[in-house]
Chain A
Amino acid sequence: MTSAAAASGADGRSVALATVLIPKSEVAAITVVDVDAVSFVYRDTPVLDCVSFEVSAGEFVALTGPNGSGKSTLLRLILGLLVPIGGSVSLFGDPPRRVRDRWRIGYVPQRPASADELPATVQDVVATGRLARRGWWRRPGPADAAAVDDALDTVGLAELRTRRFAELSGGQQQRALIAKALVTSPELLVLDEPTTGVDVASQRRFRDTLVAARDRGTAVLLVSHELGAVAGDLDRLLLLRRGKIAFDGPPADLTATGVSLGVHATDLPIWLEGLE
């Protein structure tokens, strides 16, 4: 599944799959992430308890919850960095570690610890994303250069491509990391707390980039405390609490109860307590 041409789906959203135009309703039928009754224990402490959900192609899903709710563990299980003790995770129908075409997964980590002193340009950083597509031992070719250009354009960093990565603001660094994830035209985009410490202008650009990716048919899974920038664009919200899914549905259903999707310092924990 690659993005090439666009079609209008039943809800008016444009979706493109390979060279075949597929309506949005059919795209959504393609399950990209399948988490089935997943449990995980860390040093005898239960972290996740029978968690299940799916993310389909062209769907924009956010995973949120208080600190210690198991978000990061779930993210690492989905990416194949951890193995569940119960249940199963599959990406594109295979266990995460057995997905051969790794370029299909775009991963935006939290800002790396090495960022402050890294002697590398923005272009250097974005280009590392192409290793998954061409093979890590191969020299980059014209297609790689073009993909880097496109990704930098998408996140609005084309003019800063030769700037040292460490000299960028936090928001710009985060956009560069999103470009690194987008440079393979992934079918699944996973983002880990991408807007932490990011300025408003970058958040707006960040929102536009994710919506555009979703509209191209990419499944977007955003793990974050802070959903204010994208709250109006989410298809679904997953709320984790003490290792269980406490809410899975349209964000409007949650906000109708008075819960904001901004910084969850106060209202979300209070709302979660009210569930009992």
Chain B
Amino acid sequence: MILAALPLPWPFEREFMQLALAAGLVVGICAPLIGTFMVQKRLSLMGDGIGHVAFAGVAAGLLAGVWPIWTALVAAVVGAVAIEWLRSRGRASGDLALAVLFYSGIAGGVVLTGLAGSLDAGTLTYLFGSILTVDDSDALTVAVLGAVIVAAVVVCRRALFAIVLDEEAARVAGLPVDALNLGLAALTAVTIVAGMRIVGVLLVAALMVLPVGAAQRLTRSFAATLLTASLIGAASAIVGLTAARQWALAPGGTIVLVAAACFLVSATVTSLPTRSPTAAADTR
């Protein structure tokens, strides 16, 4: 591990903290990138729903004796594509489709975990994350998944923004709306799995939403929102890990609480009265 050889200051001077930092930064940067599109599509809870399905995948992996990351990835992608299909074909409203996914996922996970007889600390690692036990292969997996997410967002962000703005107009313009929506759903699943070992399936969706909620109040352009949300996500990982080390807190939860604090600060600052008038009065 290259990062492990770096002479970083406290609290990242130890190898396990450097691996945690690397994995945390990848997830902190990538989750808000995908989350920006999901929030604008008013599907903020989709990450949560997919997280529940990913838990069923973890349980299936434990039952089959396969590395749970891969089974979780398969289950999450299938679940994400299914929810997008239900939503886009009008078979269910967005929130109902999410509810179906939520409950089916968690119920499947409980049943499969019971069959595997493995409702133990290993399972809790995936539910609540265990960033301090991330090893080289975990960090490498997260880095590869993160690279896929960044590359996809760099290529597709303008088209995805056009869909977010108006899906029907994007279809008229000839954009492959269905394919891009499915791709975004699949990327959401990849993000959930990438963050599973960091903050856990129950909390990873928070990193897709809270930094975005904070950033979109502070920025004007869409590109600035993407960048700022990722910076807030990365800062949450760094500050959260530092606080967890200092006060012996659960790192996953601490990272998410820092992101929530960023949202509260942003909401407070932007709700303060400003001197400049808005454009509402401008009728040119």
The interface of chain A, by Cβ under 8 A from chain B, is 79-81, 102-103, 105, 107, 109, 112, 114, 117-121, 123-125, 127-129, 131-132, 136-137, 140, 156, 159-160, 162-164, 167-169, 171-172, 180, 199, 201-202
A128/B174 contact (C-beta < 8 A), A117-B216, A172-B279 known: no
A128/B165 contact (C-beta < 8 A), A107-B173, A136-B175 known: yes
The interface of chain B, by Cβ under 8 A from chain A, is 40-42, 155-156, 158-159, 161-162, 164-166, 168-176, 215-216, 219-225, 278-284
Point out the residues of chain B lying under 8 angstroms from A136, CB to CB.
Answer: 156, 158-159, 162, 175-176
Other 9 A-B pairs with CB < 8 A, given A118-B165, A131-B173: A109-B169, A120-B165, A121-B220, A124-B223, A136-B156, A137-B156, A167-B280, A168-B282, A171-B283
CA distance A81 to B159 in the complex (A): 18
CA distance A195 to B282 in the complex (A): 17
**6 A-B pairs, CB-CB below 8 angstroms?**
A120-B221, A121-B222, A136-B175, A140-B158, A163-B279, A169-B283
Whether A119 contacts B165 by the Cβ 8 Å rule is: no
Which one of A121, A128, A168, A169 lies within 8 Å of B221 (CB-CB)?
A121
CA distance A159 to B282 in the complex (A): 11
Whether A164 contacts B220 by the Cβ 8 Å rule is: yes
Whether A124 contacts B168 by the Cβ 8 Å rule is: no
CA distance A171 to B283 in the complex (A): 7
Point out the residues of chain B lying under 8 angstroms from A124, CB to CB.
Answer: 161, 221-223
Whether B282 contacts A172 by the Cβ 8 Å rule is: yes
Say what secondary structure dominates the interface of chain B. helix
Point out the residues of chain A lying under 8 angstroms from B221, CB to CB.
Answer: 119-121, 123-124, 162
A105/B216 contact (C-beta < 8 A), A131-B162, A172-B282 known: no
Whether B174 contacts A102 by the Cβ 8 Å rule is: yes
Whether A160 contacts B172 by the Cβ 8 Å rule is: no
Whether B278 contacts A167 by the Cβ 8 Å rule is: yes
Whether A169 contacts B174 by the Cβ 8 Å rule is: no
CA distance A167 to B168 in the complex (A): 23
CA distance A68 to B170 in the complex (A): 25
A160/B158 contact (C-beta < 8 A), A80-B172, A121-B220 known: no
Which one of B159, B166, B176 lies within 8 Å of A112 (CB-CB)?
B166
Which single residue of chain B is at the shortest CB-CB distance from A198?
B283
Point out the residues of chain B lying under 8 angstroms from A112, CB to CB.
Answer: 165-166, 169
Point out the residues of chain A lying under 8 angstroms from B162, CB to CB.
Answer: 128, 131, 136
Whether B161 contacts A132 by the Cβ 8 Å rule is: no
Point out the residues of chain B lying under 8 angstroms from A80, CB to CB.
Answer: 171-172
Whether B165 contacts A114 by the Cβ 8 Å rule is: yes
Which one of A132, A156, A169, A172 lies within 8 Å of B173 (CB-CB)?
A132
Point out the residues of chain B lying under 8 angstroms from A114, CB to CB.
Answer: 40-42, 164-166
Which single residue of chain A is at the shortest CB-CB distance from B217?
A119
Whether A128 contacts B172 by the Cβ 8 Å rule is: no
A201/B284 contact (C-beta < 8 A), A121-B221, A131-B158 known: yes
CA distance A119 to B284 in the complex (A): 22
Which one of B155, B216, B283 lies within 8 Å of A199 (CB-CB)?
B283
CA distance A180 to B166 in the complex (A): 12
Whether A131 contacts B155 by the Cβ 8 Å rule is: no
B204 to chain A, nearest CB (A): 22
B186 to chain A, nearest CB (A): 17
Whether B172 contacts A119 by the Cβ 8 Å rule is: no
Point out the residues of chain B lying under 8 angstroms from A79, CB to CB.
Answer: 172
A92 to chain B, nearest CB (A): 13
A156/B284 contact (C-beta < 8 A), A102-B172, A112-B165, A136-B162 known: yes
Which single residue of chain B is at the shortest CB-CB distance from A205?
B284
Which one of A120, A159, A172 lies within 8 Å of B222 (CB-CB)?
A120
B91 to chain A, nearest CB (A): 15
CA distance A202 to B220 in the complex (A): 23
